[in-house]
Structure 1
Amino acid sequence: MKFNRRSFIKAASLAPALTLPFVSCRSSEDNKGTTGTSELPDAFKGLSNMTQGVVPISREERMGRIAKAQELMKQAKIDALFLEPGTSMKYFLDFDFFLSERMVAAVIPANGDIMYICPKFEEDKVSELVKFGSEVRTWEEHESPYAVVKTILVDKIGRTGTLGIEERCRFFLYEGIKSEASSFNYVLADNITAGCRMYKSDAEIALMKKANEITIAAYQALFNSLKEGMTQDDFRKIASQAHQALGATGSIGANFGEWSAFPHGSSTPQTLKEGDIILADGGCTIEGYKSDISRTIVFGTPTERQRQVWDLAKEAQFAAFELAKKEGTTCEDLDAVARKVISDGGFGPDYKYFSHRLGHGIGMDGHEWTNLVRGNKTPLQKGMCFSNEPGIYIVGEFGVRVEDCMYISDNGPVYFSTPGSAIDSPFS
């Protein structure tokens, strides 16, 4: 079926988040020309803020996260955890600060109160941001922040012990602390941070559901605004404006035609024309939590080959989702079953056309622990969240990817966004 106004008015009932009908990817004369930014597309007239009633993560939940981290530290014989600003510091402490060459950090001990480190001239600002713990230790510009960390370690755990460092901590900070406090042991602390963050609570799931609902609504308005001759930059701008109209900060990028065979896009300038596949990928953030959705459609009428390739990717996505319902399934099992479907369908062997893993973890980061990839024998467990995104990329021709994220509930996998049923029915 060709994307046009008449056919997609019928789809309006499938989009309860919007008050407008989902209409065209029509490539007619009246749709020619690039999209201007001086006024919003007509499709935006039905958009409204969808974030009313969103409930942020509570202080009580963060306190539970800290307690869980401390328990995991005790089990792993880690005496303290060192964090600098980033997702994990936000996750545990609701603390956000910019990164620079000057250390701003926190130490969470396995026992006792949380402590912070910052330059003396930033003390007042940092103190305003502290919500858990209260003590901030500082250094003047000519002094060493690493010496301050050492005094905290000595005060909290004694002259020796083990300090956990998260993988995203910058190396120069780790090296400086290690040089100053050489009597301590240092270990990677991902079993602590990932051991908490991989398993989402009901409150986190609710925020991710909302982020996905908003991104689907943005996609519908975006696809309703496609015009022949529009550029990738036009596409991104409309996507950003759509998310803003819906109350979120988000982005969706796309590649057209043969450039859709690049899984993460090409830098080659592209303009949309009749018959092009559009491979779009993006999401938004709600209270720190992400959505990530890919849609592949055709601007015009799909060819039989385009439809067949899309259908095969959809079959692989379905196979992985169904296997996730089986108790004892591991992360690598899902990748394997999806990859087999694509290989058996003529697009093998192995990574030749389906060139990336099946999926990644998602939460406060768009990509986080753990991945649906060969070699990852982690069993699926309640609260885990993943993208399910098989793709088939035929260089010189086109690429297809279907991506929806899911979480593992008490009753098995649940999608955050409903997968499309066909290349010309992306929101069924």
Structure 2
Amino acid sequence: MTMSQMSAPKISMDEREQRLRQLRQTMAERGIGAVLIGPTESLRYFTGLVWHASERLVGAVVTASDLVYVVPGFECSRVETLPHLTGDIRVWEEDESSSALVASLLPDGTSLAVDDSVALFVYNALRREIPAERLIDGGPILRGQRLRKSPSEIAIIQYAMNLTLDVQRKAHAMIRPGIAASEVIRFIDEEHRRLGAAGGSTFCIVSFGETTALPHGADGDQIYKAGDVVLVDTGCRIDGYNSDITRTYVMEEPSADFARIWAIEREAQQAVFDAAQLGATCASLDDAARRVITGHGLGPDYRLPGLPHRAGHGLGLEGHEEPYIVRGNSTLLEEGMCFSNEPMIVLPGQFGLRLEDIIHMTADGPAWFTHPPKGPTEPF
């Protein structure tokens, strides 16, 4: 069965109800009266409602017993038609204050935990209605719960990763002298859509030659020439959850320098995977990658030639989220955590080499969503 014929898994409303129950348990343990969730990925996570941020607040207030959506009056009918958990809808009109409405929903004398992804103007408006000492950072609560993915979330990410890996294979097959990076990018977007990612590519970097040394690509178009290093980094979303895969390769026999750096990159990537044991700190994985790289005379630290950035980032409803695989991060790895493994090596003026695959933590330790490539000319 092909990817386009398979049915993508989805998060059920029952699972979202369970998420709210867990949130309310945390609120009770910490003595929090209510949580304000803005038009962010946390709103999708807990309620299923998808809304894009604007100057008008759309969100949800969660109390011990209620789920209340806060919505501009003229948007109420639209919200009613969108998938979301059942809850009261309270509207505010254009000449009214959304923050005053939020404040009216807060139990007397209690604190409000505010989604840390809401705009600053929302927080400032809340301060005019609620004493500052009763406004607390809701990020650790909301993000802390989202940090450990459920089996359903893992299944969706796996589906998205399989889809993007298929697209990467097809992109590799079309690389030929004279092709423009923009043509490859367009093809990747179209393939993501054809295979079921409604929004196409969430991002796409296609770099050739020296521009592969720029981690996030170069401005302007590029034309592939025989012998160029090729870097393709792309992903999509399925039911809100992201994929992210990078492959760097050459189409012909690799130079000695490229083959050497490719082997170091793959060794560093494997060192991260091997270090990713339950209870290990995120920092220790970044350390493992740098030990390999500095052991081969590159770096140290963030110096070039070497690894100029962290070794990885969390993946879920956001393409970059916690846990970050970076020096100094004492977060301990737990079952359900998902994060990228991409200790890129950059040689300025020559090329950059990034192999990126995503790890998820199981009860038995780390597991790949997609397996690393075989060699510098065999990216799959």
**Range into which the TM-score falls when normalised by the shorter chain:** over 0.9
- 1:71-129: CA deviation from partner (whole Å, max 9, x where unpaired): 122222222111111211000000012322112111011x1111111222222222333
Secondary structure of residue in 2 paired with 1:146: helix
3-state SS in 2 of match to 1:426: coil
- 1:1-400 residue pairs with structure 2 within 5 A? 48-50=2-4, 52-109=6-63, 111-129=64-82, 131-153=84-106, 157-158=107-108, 160-182=109-131, 185-248=134-197, 249-250=200-201, 251-325=203-277, 327-352=278-303, 353-400=306-353
Q: Which residue does 1:423 correspond to in 2?
A: 376
**Higher RCO (CA < 8 A, seq sep 6+):** 1
TM-score after normalising by structure 1:
0.84
| Structure 2, gaps ≥5 residues long | none
- Indicate the residue corresponding to 1:36 in structure 2: none
In the aligned structure 2, how far is the partner of 1:420 from the partner of 1:141?
A: 55
* Compared CA separation, residues 195 and 269, structure 1 to 2 (3 A): same
Partners of 2:212 and 2:82 in 1: CA distance: 44
**1:357–1:372 contact (8 Å) kept in structure 2:** yes
Letter in 2 for 1:302: P
Q: Please say if residues 235 and 253 of structure 1, whose CA atoms lie closer than 8 Å, have aligned partners that are also in contact.
A: no
Q: Distance in 2 between matches of 1:190 and 1:273?
A: 47
Give the secondary-structure state (helix, strand or coil) at the position aligned to 1:50.
helix
Shift of 1:228: 1.1
CA distance in structure 2 between the partners assigned to 1:311 and 1:218 by the alignment: 24
Identity %: 36
SS in 1 for 2:105: helix
In 1, distance between residues paired with 2:121 and 2:236? 32
1:191: Cα distance to partner? Answer: 1.7
Instruction: Classify the secondary structure of the residue corresponding to 1:270.
Output: coil
Moved segments of 4+, more than 6 Å? none
Greater C-alpha radius of gyration: 1
User: Over aligned residue pairs, what C-alpha RMSD do you find?
Assistant: 1.6
